[in-house]
Amino acid sequence: MAKGLATESLCDCCTICLPLSEEQYRQIVDHAGKFRQFLDHCHQQMPELFPEDFSQGYEMKDCRMPKKLQVKLRRIELRSGAAYTIRPSFLMPYMTARTEDVEMPLFLRKFGVPYWALTHVFGRNPMFWHRLELSLGRFSVAGATVRQAELPPHLLADEHHQTCGGEKLYIATTVGGGCCLGAAVAETAGTDDLQAAYSVFKAEARNIDPNYAPQTVNTDGWRGTKAAWRGLFPLIVVLQCFLHGWLKIRDRAKHLQDMFLEIGTRVWDAYRAPNRRSFSQHLRALRGWAESHLSGIVLESVVDLCDKRDRWSLAYDHPQGHRTSNMLDRIMRGMNRYFFDGQHLHGSRESSERHSRAWALLWNFAPWHPAVASDHDGWNSPAERLNKHRYHVNWLQNLLISASLGGYRQGGPQKT
């Protein structure tokens, strides 16, 4: 993680964000006894939003009145000497705005609506909306997203190619449980740079669970990606995406109108084989058929898929692992549209890093179409579905509450 990003994240780690309406807040903020009673009740109901040593005791410290919104903020001091600011969820971090005033513009940013358009409709200026969105990138992506659930043991990973100032960058994207759990910028697609980028996810995941070690990760087969994950988690099993093997064939065989459907049927019949033995039999039959009916580069592509039988077969040892990258592809399609509509990345490396992380949180917490939500037991976003829980009916307040303490459990960003 960039040094500046880590430093500012520590500031967010000193803020506890709790669900509270402005009317309720104003009734208790000037009364230390009522405020303490409220804190104790929240800690009893939602201990994960508080520091680990909160239960050992604390005292009311002081009050602050930021000039921007003229809302008093209380601070507490734990027995350890650590001080924390209590911020109600109707306020944005650093008191930049009220949540209700920026919830709709930030929702539209999920779909790449440009900042100048937000200014035309909602006022302010483009840089205000730009900075407001990027401020979300200070939070731990994995920590804010995974609050009431376990970290997924089976992951997917790939790099999204982007440009910044004409130079190519790679957004190392980690997906699990239907959510984007990591998005960090790598300058090259080499092993060292990719390992450094994916290590941001590892640090945030280990902050949640110090012993976390995923069982499998699905990749597209890029050597640098596989080496990066094995370097971070030596015992992880890398599953190669079968879909990418088919896409290689599809791109070379789609001009064969008479044979294309037959090729696809045979490839996917092999994929659906119920066990390793049946899978091997289907691939041998596919190869024999291809050598009799195909030629040229199409034949080479089919043979190449069959030659990778041992790689595809690994998935049968891990039935809960991801054999294809469909879950990741759905998320990266949204990421691609978002950055394409915004004319790619801009500014410094730190800005690009925050931009990627902010988008990941917008994707995880911004609501789905109502028809989609009805198909997921009423949960309104990927983060809600993963946690089977929401802190607030307003998606942005739910995000801010989930990001209490910056989303970190163990006192801030951890080094890998």
Gyration radius of the chain's alpha carbons: 24
How much is the pTM? 0.90
Q: Do the beta carbons of residue 187 and residue 159 sit within 8 Å?
A: no
In the structure, what pLDDT confidence band is assigned to residue 173 with cuts at 50, 70 and 90?
Answer: very high
Q: Do the beta carbons of residue 398 and residue 391 sit within 8 Å?
A: yes
Pair 226, 195 in one domain: yes
> 67: how many CB neighbours lie within 10 A of its CB?
6
Pair 205, 336 in one domain: yes
Pair 329, 310 in one domain: no
Pair 179, 230 in one domain: yes
Pair 211, 329 in one domain: yes
Structural domain range at position 7? 3-96+389-407
Q: Kindly give, in sequence order, each residue whose CB lies less than 8 Å from that of residue 19, ignoring residues fewer than 6 positions away.
A: 42, 88, 89, 391, 392, 397, 401
The per-residue DSSP string of 45-100 comes to: H-GGGS-GGGGG-EEEEEEE--TTT---EEEEEETTS-EEEEEETTB-GGG--BHH
**Per-residue pLDDT reduced to its tens digit, 87-141:** 999 999 989 999 999 999 999 999 989 999 999 999 999 999 999 999 999 999 9
Q: How is residue 139 annotated by DSSP?
A: S
Pair 347, 298 in one domain: no
Q: Do the beta carbons of residue 127 and residue 113 sit within 8 Å?
A: no
The mean per-residue pLDDT over the stretch 327-354 comes to 86
CA–CA distance from 373 to each of 221, 313, 385 (Å)?
33, 35, 9
> Does residue 9 form part of some domain?
yes
Q: Kindly give, in sequence order, each residue whose CB lies less than 8 Å from that of residue 118, ignoring residues fewer than 6 positions away.
A: 105, 108, 109, 124, 126, 129
We report the CATH number of the domain holding residue 174 as 3.30.420.10
> 208: how many CB neighbours lie within 10 A of its CB?
20
Pair 233, 327 in one domain: yes
Q: Do the beta carbons of residue 176 and residue 110 sit within 8 Å?
A: no
Q: Taken in order 25, 27, 32, 38, is the CA torsion positive or negative?
A: negative
Q: Which residue has the tokens 């804010």?
A: 144
Q: Give the strand order in the sheet containing 73-78.
A: 15-18, 83-88, 73-78, 58-64
Pair 331, 227 in one domain: yes
Pair 330, 190 in one domain: yes
Strand partners, 252: none
Residue type, 147: R
Identify the domain boundary among 292, 317, 342: 317
> Does residue 379 form part of some domain?
yes
Strand partners, 88: 18
**Per-residue pLDDT reduced to its tens digit, 301-325:** 999 999 999 999 999 999 999 999 9
Residue type, 372: V
The count of domains in the chain is 3
Pair 51, 173 in one domain: no
> Does residue 128 form part of some domain?
no
Rounded Cα distance, 64 and 84, in Å: 12
Pair 312, 353 in one domain: no
Given a cut of 60, whether residue 195 has pLDDT beyond it is yes
Rounded Cα distance, 269 and 263, in Å: 10
> Does residue 83 form part of some domain?
yes
Residue % of the chain over a pLDDT of 70:
95
Pair 347, 206 in one domain: yes
